[in-house]
Structure 1
Amino acid sequence: MSDIKEPGFKTSEIIAGLAQVFQTYSDEEKKSQIKKTNGIFELRVKNAEGKEGVWTIDLKKSGTVYKGEAKPKADVTILLSDDTFTQLAEGKLDGQKAFLTGKLKTKGNMMLATKLDGVLKSAKSKAKL
């Protein structure tokens, strides 16, 4: 899992936790998440120093989380800051509110981006992120 972590990003800790949760899912749980979400999210996160980290959550084919650009192409790319992602993951910030206030930008299937909240919440309930 250490290959997911990126120094200087709080997001990487959360993503690593998410990846571990995905690994504990049974095949049924994975299929259920994939069926419910049916999309590939590419997260482009900028930290306080202005560096960008890229992670992918594949809930279309494999039900996996990894560092780097989406392969195949992402259905939605989400651009946000490290702090914004942390607040989303902790449930302190609503995804729609973040989008409407310009803290979160999307490229691609915007409706799919609304499902990210649900993915984070279900993983958080499975493990304490």
Structure 2
Amino acid sequence: MSDLKAAGFKSSELIAGLDTAFKSYSDKEKAEAMKKSNGIFELQVTNADKETVTWTIDMKKTGTVYKGKATPKADVTIILSDDTLVDLASGKTNGQKAFMTGKLKTKGNMMLATKLDTVLKGAKAKL
């Protein structure tokens, strides 16, 4: 779990929490969660010091989260700040609002990006 954390990133705890939630899913729960989102999300997160870390949430093949670029290629890359990711996870903002205000950018399948909220909420409910 500690290999997921990045110093200076508030969202590190969130990502580690996602990993814990995914590992606690039964096979059936994991299959259902993967069926709902069916995509590989690459998160490029930048903190206040302008450092960037990349995390990948694979909800297509493995139902896991890991640090680093997506392999195979991500279906959608989401570029956002550390604070925006924390706000998305806590429910302070939603993906559409963040996108419309320029706090979140996407590359790839933009419609899939809307399912990130579902992934975050599902994992939060499990914790």
Instruction: Specify if TM > 0.5.
Output: yes
How many matched pairs?
A: 127
Partner of 1:125: 125
List aligned pairs for 1:25-36, cutoff 5 A: 25-36=25-36
Report how far residue 126 of structure 1 moved: 1.1
Partner of 2:41: 41
SS in 2 for 1:3: helix
**Whole-Å separation in 1 of the counterparts to 2:115 and 2:106:** 13
**Whole-Å separation in 1 of the counterparts to 2:25 and 2:114:** 22
* 1:94 aligns to 2:82 (yes or no): no
Partner of 1:115: 115
Structure 1, unmatched stretches of 5+, are: none
Report how far residue 108 of structure 1 moved: 0.1
Partner of 1:68: 68
Identity of aligned residues (%): 69
**Whole-Å separation in 2 of the counterparts to 1:2 and 1:94:** 27
Partner of 1:103: 103
Structure 2, unmatched stretches of 5+, are: none
- Give the RMSD, CA atoms, in angstroms: 0.5
| 4+ residue runs over 2 A deviation | none
Deviations 1:30-68 (A, max 9, x none): 111111111000000000000001000000000000000
Q: TM-score, normalised by structure 1?
A: 0.97
**Whole-Å separation in 2 of the counterparts to 1:21 and 1:123:** 5
